[in-house]
Structure 1
Amino acid sequence: MAKPVVLVGDIGGTNTRFELLRLADPPQVLLVQNYQNDDYPDLGAIGREFLGQSPVSPDLACLAVAGPVEDNSMNLTNRGWRVSGSELATQMGIPHVHLINDLEAVGYGIRFLHPQDWVVLQEGTVVPQAPIGVVAAGTGLGECFLTWDGQKYRVWPSEGGHTDFAPRNDRELGLWKYLQSQFGRVSAERVVSGPGLWNIYSYLAQVFPEQARPEILAAKNPALITENLHDPLCSQTVDIFVANYGSEAGNLALKLLARGGIYLTGGIAPRLVERFQQGGFMRAFLDKGRMGPLLVSIPIFLVTATRVGLLGAIEAARQYIKDSG
């Protein structure tokens, strides 16, 4: 009997990655393509272009999307695309399209990672079957968590990145006031994300105008900040970003008592591994007053593997096929 062919995707605010696979063991990759979302009017257009390159039609699609999913419909938070699985199935000519939250996919995917796929920021002690937390900064700030149901880990999506940003010192209080004047309410995502990097730099450019670089201000491109760490203002921006990443990861660790570990995923941290290792992240992570000593035992893994969301989407596709079997 032929193994089913599935389309899996990792759809963020900025990029979309599609893979077509035959679900053998291990899966056989048939076609891979990355897309810039700015170049397309909607997700269906990307899917049609991708499948137009393949001689094989998928039996099923499982797409991980950066936004809340309800009743197999999604709103891509930082893109504005709204679509249902049934609409995508019609647009792309696929019998079934299942949508899952991108961090939910990451939660499934981390179970298939190996030690070479991460950098340890804090060894800690992994407690079997204890809760696990995931924090992912990219175009937005995604969070999810895993709990043990008696037989296996279950993944729970979350919109924790949209909780309140809490400044911890005078510099961050100034940042909060700057962002509050622009946005009203200030969420953690306004600081710990790609756009957050730009927000921090923009604020510091007002505080230290003599250090601001006109070309970076004009481009409004967070990548220029992470690529110019020798520049004093870019360096300070990244330090604030990394510290607040640590603070938010510590918040999640406390809320979950995540003795199974905290995993850092997303597109930004792997480009800044040395900065994450320099201590600012861990100082902020542990800076929880009386609860700081509790967090010393929490393992922290910075995931450098790029396909973790797709691995989770593949696993979810297997489960859909099994359940419909």
Structure 2
Amino acid sequence: MVYSKKASVWELSVLQLATDKVWYKGVVLKGNRDIQNKKGKAFQNAIRVICSYFTPVLSNQEICIHTKAGLIFTKTDTFGRFQAVSDKAYCEDLKITLSGSDEVLKLVQNYPVFFQEEQRTLDIISDIDDTILVSNTANIFQRIKTLLFLVPERRTVIEFTKNIFQAWEDVNPRLFYVSKSESNLFGLLTTFIKHNELPLGVLTLTPYLSFFQLIKGQKPIDFKLNAIRFLITQSRSKHYILVGDDTQKDMAIYTTLAKAYPELILKIYIRRTGKDISETQQKMWEELLATGTSASYFLPEHADSILKEIQTLKEELI
């Protein structure tokens, strides 16, 4: 197939919603991009990451999603993002073109696109940085070093979070990864998830950023809270588990969600990243506990008791 030289689809996710509608979302970059996720060395990884912040997005452009059920017209925003909620079903030979053109945009990712909605007992919504992989979020210099010079296959997976996911496997939950990491890192993150055999789930990331936007901190303030609210309100799941860590605002966000959906949030897991707990972390933890929702603030040595509790909770659900 001859692909358009004008633009490429950097990431695409299609999620069947509870309303029998379908959520199409993605990011379009300018140019005919190469397939990502190529294995390389630290220097090559650093170059790829840095170059992503100098890759222009295709902003404010009308696009057309071609399905067997018909056409879906939408438009990218200033960050190159597009989304549409449609009654037109997903098909495997889906194509995306620029409006008024027959040239197909190449889909760059090497990661599942479609995620089927089913009647489920449980969904798990998880953070990424310092929740499923070590990112050193609390130390900006260590974070940059880790991001640039460790290839995805050599990044450290957080085994206990992985064990939590595995412990819930027989309930057949869906996994949603919601992170403040920008879309520039989509290829790196999906490579990490696949390499470490973590559950394949929808990634919802903040906008694809240029270097100057990154420096200026142009990320939506309530992005994570709003993204999780959307997933909860649009799903058929009866219960939710929220997984995060104590380096940013996960506890505060999950407290808000526990207050809003007390009958839906089954459990909250917060990974403790340091030996000591700051006054701010302690205050946020106490506010989370005050919601009455079951929560665990865990260290590796808590593994046995938490896994036993999971078995009890599963028996109650099943």
* TM value normalised by structure 2: 0.31
Higher helix share: 1
- Which has more strand, going by share of residues? 2
